[in-house]
């Protein structure tokens, strides 16, 4: 799994590419914490190039959500692939996190 990080004007985008599993989860966690430490507390995880996610990957997202909220920011997810969407649905995580259509729209509402 590769991570693409992009810092925009009022939010930052992390895009995991490939399979986000137990093996990739620690590096996602690290990248999220790094952004938070730099003061980028509004984060979008762009899942448009994430071919697959397992429960460990979801665990990293939840860990990131906690860290971001504690830093007075937020973590939002965007553009999940069908494979990722089905895992979100299976675990009911879609009842907690809204999947925005794209990274650009994630913070439109504020």
Partner 1 sequence: MTRRMIIIRILAVLAVLTGVNYVTWRWLESVNWEAWWIAVPLIVAETFSLIDTFLFAATMWKSKEREGPKSAPEGTVDVLITTYNEPIEMVMKTASAAQKITYPHQTWILDDGNRSEMADAAKQAGIGYITRSQDWKNKPRHAKAGNLNNALFQTDGEFLLILDADQVPDPLILHRTLGYFADDPKVALVQTPQWFVNVDEADPLGSQAPLFYGPIQQGKDGWNAAFFCGSNAVLRRDALMQLGIVGYVHDVQESTRRTLRAAEKLLGREAKRHRDVPELSEELRQLHALTADALADFRRGEPAAEVVYRVQEAAKAASRRLLENDLATMYADLESLGHVPVQRDEVLGAVVIDQASLDALTAQEHSPLGAVESVMALLEQLRVDRPDEAQPVQPLATISITEDMATAMQLHSMGWRSVYHHEILARGLAPEDLNTMLKQRLRWAQGTLQVMLRDNPLVKKGLSAGQRLMYFGTMWSYLAGFAALAYMAAPILYLMLGVMPVNAWSVEFFARFLPYFLINQVLFIYVARGMRTWRGQQYSLALFPLWIKACWTTFANVVLGKPLGFVVTRKDGKAEGGVPWREIWPQLTVMVLLVISLIIGVTRVMLGTLDGTGTLINTVWVIYILIALSVIIQAARYRGPAAALENPEGDSWISK
Query: 20: how many CB neighbours lie within 10 A of its CB?
Result: 27
Give the position of tokens 């990739």. 24
CB of 109 to partner 1, least distance (A): 9
Considering the complex, state which of residue 3 and residue 97 has its C-beta at the smaller distance from partner 1. 97
Task: Determine, following the binding rule CB under 8 A, whether residue 108 of this chain makes contact with partner 1.
Answer: no
Q: Which of 23, 83, 89, 105 binds partner 1 (CB under 8 A)?
A: 23
Query: 47: how many CB neighbours lie within 10 A of its CB?
Result: 26
Give the position of tokens 């952004």. 35
CB of 83 to partner 1, least distance (A): 14
The footprint of partner 1 on residues 47-106 (CB under 8 A) is 54-56, 58-59, 62-63, 65-66, 69-70, 74, 90-98
Quickly list H helices, the chain.
Answer: 25-37, 55-70, 82-90
In eight-state DSSP terms, residue 101 is S
CB of 49 to partner 1, least distance (A): 21
Considering the complex, state which of residue 34 and residue 66 has its C-beta at the smaller distance from partner 1. 66
Token output for 100: 């925005």
């Amino acid at each position: 799994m590769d991570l693409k990080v992009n810092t925009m004007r009022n939010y930052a985008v992390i895009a995991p590419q490939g399979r986000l599993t137990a093996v990739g989860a620690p590096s996602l966690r690290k990248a999220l914490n790094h952004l938070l430490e730099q003061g980028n507390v509004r984060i979008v995880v762009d899942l448009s190039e994430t071919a697959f996610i397992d429960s460990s990957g979801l665990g990293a997202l939840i860990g990131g959500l906690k860290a971001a909220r504690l830093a007075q920011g937020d973590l939002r997810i965007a553009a999940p692939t069908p494979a990722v969407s089905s895992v979100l649905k299976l675990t009911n995580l879609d009842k907690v996190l809204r999947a925005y259509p794209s990274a650009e729209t994630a913070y439109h509402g504020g």
